[in-house]
């Protein structure tokens, strides 16, 4: 099973969701190595990107030219969104995604992300500006609505398709739900029925069983997985195998698992530099230890280390133990 975004084939239709501070280049590279139809970058704020605010340019070193990478941009004004899209396309981006789903207050307070669902005419002006600015496929990620009194995802998605958007991803919650409760996959069916372009279900999809239920309830063409891949970068490939017959991933255990984590850690050091890389890596190391049930003493010792060499030396003790390789973290 697959679908196309203009001349780009998405196969298998299992995608990595954009997660701020998590889906950086080292993590996306690792997930892609196991297998994924598409991986989406961390969100780039268009205004900050254009003014080269410290840190934004580094975040934009996203491997945009890598074949299965989509670059996500956000903003509140058509001009900066269009210019950021052009710059990202010039960097080699194969797909550009528009963020209209982020629920964070620092994003919605600036009338970006899911706040735009409250002003659909303005949201459409941003979508049109981005589509008109680039030749690569443009996609849209959003939610069911702002709150239960504003469930306008289907209407916004229909207008986005008419403007030229090639795929719509729906997180099955409203903005005001944030990440509470359960994602309403059945509500995504209204969006699917309103469109001819592919629709992708997102929210609470962590393994093959939840992906199968999400597809059945929504009628979507694919799934997008975020937190289910934390500590288990093979999750997307496993879901693709179980649902769509893609090759089964070789899930590392024991010493092989330690080697994979060490490689991820070293890639983060290379990407961020040793000091920042060590700090940013701690959350990933924590998720890997959750996966194998590392005891508190070994966990604390590893996360307190400031020396990369010492972290690498402690990894075998912390991680070389049996574990369950299912998609959802323990």
List pLDDT tens digits, range 279-321: 999 999 999 999 999 999 999 999 999 999 999 999 999 998 7
Gap between the Cα atoms of 37 and 268, Å rounded: 23
State yes or no: pLDDT of 268 exceeds 80: yes
Distance of CA 30 to the CA centre of its chain: 13
Q: How confident is the model at residue 109 (pLDDT cuts 50, 70, 90)?
A: confident
- What is the pLDDT of the chain when averaged over all its residues? 92
Q: Is 259 exposed, middle or buried (0-12, 13-18, 19+ CB in 10 A)?
A: middle
Token pair recorded at residue 19 = 């997660």
Is residue 33 pLDDT above 90, yes or no?
Answer: yes
Instruction: Give the residues across from 225 on adjacent strands.
Output: 16
How confident is the model over 175-219, as pLDDT tens digits?
Answer: 999 889 999 999 999 999 999 999 999 999 999 999 999 999 999
Superfamily of domain 3-244: Aldolase class I (3.20.20.70)
Coil, strand or helix at 251:
coil
Residue 147 confidence (pLDDT) above 50:
yes
Q: What is the mean pLDDT of residues 108-116?
A: 90
More confident residue, 146 or 111: 146
Q: Mean pLDDT lowest for which of 3-17, 53-67, 205-219, 240-254? A: 53-67
176 is catalytic: no
Q: How far apart are CA 79 and CA 77, in angstroms?
A: 6
- pLDDT at position 55: 56
| For residue 322, pLDDT beyond 80 | no
39: tokens are: 């991986």
Mean pLDDT of 126-144: 97
The answer to whether 139 and 69 have CB atoms below 8 angstroms apart is: no
pTM equals: 0.92
Which tops the pLDDT comparison, 156 or 50? 156
First to last CA, the chain: 30
pLDDT at 154 over 70: yes
Cβ 175 vs Cβ 114: under 8 Å: yes
**Which one of the listed residues 102, 150, 176, 324 is annotated catalytic?**
102
Give residue 57's pLDDT: 46
Strands (E), 95-146: 95-100, 138-145
The reported pLDDT for the residue numbered 62 is 60
């Amino acid at each position: 099973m697959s679908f196309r975004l203009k001349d780009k084939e998405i196969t298998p239709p299992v995608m990595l969701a954009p997660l701020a501070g998590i889906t950086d280049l080292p993590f996306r590279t690792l997930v892609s190595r196991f297998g994924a139809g598409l991986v989406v970058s961390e969100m780039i704020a268009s205004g900050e990107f254009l003014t080269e605010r410290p840190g934004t340019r580094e975040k934009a070193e996203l491997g945009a030219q890598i074949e299965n990478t989509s670059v996500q941009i956000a903003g509140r004004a058509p001009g900066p969104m269009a210019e950021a899209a052009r710059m990202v396309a010039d960097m080699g981006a194969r797909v550009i995604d528009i963020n209209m789903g982020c629920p964070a207050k620092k994003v919605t307070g600036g009338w970006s992300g899911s706040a735009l669902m409250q002003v659909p005419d303005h949201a459409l002006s941003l979508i049109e500006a981005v589509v008109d600015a680039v030749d690569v496929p443009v996609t849209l990620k959003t939610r069911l609505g702002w709150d239960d009194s504003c469930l306008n995802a289907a209407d916004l998605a229909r207008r986005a398709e008419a403007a030229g958007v090639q795929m719509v991803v729906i997180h099955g919650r409203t903005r005001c739900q944030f990440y509470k409760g359960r994602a309403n996959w059945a509500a995504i069916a209204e969006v699917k029925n309103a469109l001819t372009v592919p629709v992708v279900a997102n929210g609470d999809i962590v393994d093959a069983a939840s992906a199968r239920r999400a597809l059945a309830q929504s009628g979507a063409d694919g799934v997008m997985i975020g937190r289910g891949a934390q500590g288990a970068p093979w999750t997307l490939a496993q879901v693709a195998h179980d649902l769509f017959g893609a090759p089964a991933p070789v899930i590392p255990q024991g010493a092989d698992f330690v080697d994979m984590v060490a490689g991820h850690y070293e890639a983060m050091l290379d990407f961020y530099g040793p000091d920042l890389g060590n700090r940013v890596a701690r959350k990933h190391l924590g998720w890997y230890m959750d996966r194998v049930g590392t005891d508190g003493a070994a966990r604390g010792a590893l996360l307190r280390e400031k020396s990369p060499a010492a972290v690498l030396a402690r990894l075998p003790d912390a991680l070389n133990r049996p574990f369950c390789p299912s998609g959802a973290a323990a």
